[in-house]
């Protein structure tokens, strides 16, 4: 009976089970190591958002939201910086100067 009470007090959430070694964590490798396709999709999304904001620029100006145009420009620009970084990082990994897990 005491064992049943002790067992009922044990937490059964996945984090606790993992900590006690009851769950096995599978080793899963990332699908995309370079990150370049993800960044390109983001850049395209910001470019599309820029075009949409340009279409509605007059309405946004009336509502005092013209600054949204500059948000899309900033997103596009930061995406280009991210693309440069990812390409540089991927080239270093391919050349053997850096490990894939290192960031």
Residue 42 is predicted with a pLDDT of 97
Domain boundaries, the chain: 37-95
Is residue 101 pLDDT above 70, yes or no?
A: no
Give the H/E segment covering residue 88: helix 68-95
pLDDT for 8 equals: 57
> Measuring CA to CA, which residue among 96, 49, 100 is closest to residue 73?
49
Spell out a b/e string for 49-75, using b for 16 or more CB atoms within 10 Å of the CB, else e: bbeebeeeeeebeeeeeeebbeebeeb
Residue range 44-91, pLDDT digits in tens: 999 999 999 999 999 999 999 999 999 999 999 999 999 999 999 999
């Amino acid at each position: 009976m005491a064992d049943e009470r002790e067992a009922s007090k044990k937490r059964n959430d996945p984090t606790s089970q993992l900590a006690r070694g009851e769950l096995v964590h599978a080793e899963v490798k990332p699908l995309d190591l370079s990150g370049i396709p993800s960044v390109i999709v983001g850049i395209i999304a910001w470019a599309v958002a820029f075009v949409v904001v340009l279409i509605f620029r007059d309405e946004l100006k009336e509502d005092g939201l013209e600054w949204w145009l500059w948000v899309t420009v900033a997103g596009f620009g930061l995406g280009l910086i991210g693309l440069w970084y990812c390409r540089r990082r991927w080239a270093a990994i391919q050349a053997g100067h850096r490990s894939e897990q290192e960031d």
